[in-house]
Structures are given as C-alpha cells and as structure tokens.
C-alpha cells in the first residue's frame, strides 16, 4: 500500500482573493466554516499528548486548532483536527474527504473571517504520516485539516489512515 494516496491533485488556481491578510491579528481562531461540506463549528484549543502526538478534540462535533503551532492567517501551516465519526454516528469532519480544489474554508479570528482555498487532499497511512509536510514551515498563511480515514482496526479501535486537506490563504 502506498504511503500517500491523492484524493485529488493539480488544483486550478484559486479565485481572486476577497479577504486581505494585511491586518495584524492577535487573537486565537474561534470558528470554522466549510460551506461545501456543511461545517460551521466553534474551535477548541488542542495540544500535544505525552507521546508528542496531536490530541483529538473531546467533543466529536467540535474541531480543534493546534494552539502551540501557527494561528490561521499567520505565515505557516495552521493545523485543525476533527473526528470522522463516533459510536453515535457521523462527526464534524465526516465529509472532509469530499473537499475539492478551490473549495473555501473560512476561519473566524479577531472578529473577522479569513478565507482559504483548498489545493490538495491526501490520505496517508498513520504509520507513514508526513509530519514535515503537514507541520513544516511555509512562506505564507496555510491550513491543514486532519481527520481519520481508510479502514478501521477493531482491535486498536482506530482507523489505519489520516486524511489531510491542504489550503492556502485566499
């Protein structure tokens, strides 16, 4: 099985920007909207667990932002994670894999909405997660949205893969 399977590639250029990133932002992100898949949710802060992995949000319907990393709108990759599902059914990022090139992702920060456009999505085996590609520095404001994917390991109670959506500031 390959380490990465592209969900889509070769994204067209995003439409013209409607939001400027010229204002200095100081507060944390507070809300996430992804109109194409019906997401409109508050954001919580996430940290790393004792093993150094990003913790999952406690609420299955609330995504979380990696608070010790880049904030959305700042240069670098801001990371947001959410659950795929729970024992009760679909969770906040259940449809994340459906995002397509140029779909819009919006983040509320300091009372204004910042727009990002999807550029790529990949599914990676958890054993081969591309940490440097997801968390490594970028020259501009970008987003990484992460959830589980692939088959489910009943013994470990975990999915085999992660879906990562990449987006750039509009």
The model's pLDDT over 11-50, given as tens digits with 9 standing for 90+, comes to 333 333 334 555 688 899 999 999 999 999 999 999 999 9
What are the extents of the domains in the chain?
4-17+26-169
Average of per-residue pLDDT across 134-154: 95
pLDDT at 25: 87
**Is 159:86 a contact under the CB 8 Å cutoff?**
no
The strand pair at 158-169 and 64-66 is best described as unpaired
Q: Is 32 helix (H, G, I), strand (E, B) or coil?
A: strand
Task: Tell me the pTM.
Answer: 0.85
Q: How much is the mean pLDDT over the chain?
A: 88
Report the first-to-last Cα separation within the chain, whole angstroms: 34
The CATH number of the structural domain formed by 4-17+26-169 is 2.40.260.10
How far, in Å, CA of 152 to CA of 160, rounded?
6
**Is 146:162 a contact under the CB 8 Å cutoff?**
yes
């Amino acid at each position: 099985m390959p380490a990465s399977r592209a969900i889509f590639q070769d994204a067209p250029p995003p439409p013209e920007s409607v939001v400027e990133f010229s204002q200095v932002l100081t507060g944390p992100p507070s809300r996430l909207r992804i109109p194409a898949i019906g997401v409109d949710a508050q954001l919580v802060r996430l940290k790393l667990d004792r093993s150094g992995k990003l913790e999952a949000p406690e609420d299955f319907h609330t995504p979380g932002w990696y608070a010790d990393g880049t904030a959305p709108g700042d240069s670098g990759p801001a990371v947001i994670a959410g659950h795929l599902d729970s024992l009760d059914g679909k969770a906040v990022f259940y449809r994340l894999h459906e995002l397509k090139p140029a779909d819009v992702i919006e983040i509320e920060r300091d009372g204004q909405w910042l727009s990002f456009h999807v550029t790529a999505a990949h599914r990676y085996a958890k054993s081969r997660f591309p940490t440097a590609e997801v968390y490594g520095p970028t020259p501009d404001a970008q987003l990484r949205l992460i959830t589980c994917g692939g088959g489910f390991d009943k013994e470990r109670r975990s999915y085999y893969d992660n879906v990562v959506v990449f987006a750039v500031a509009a």
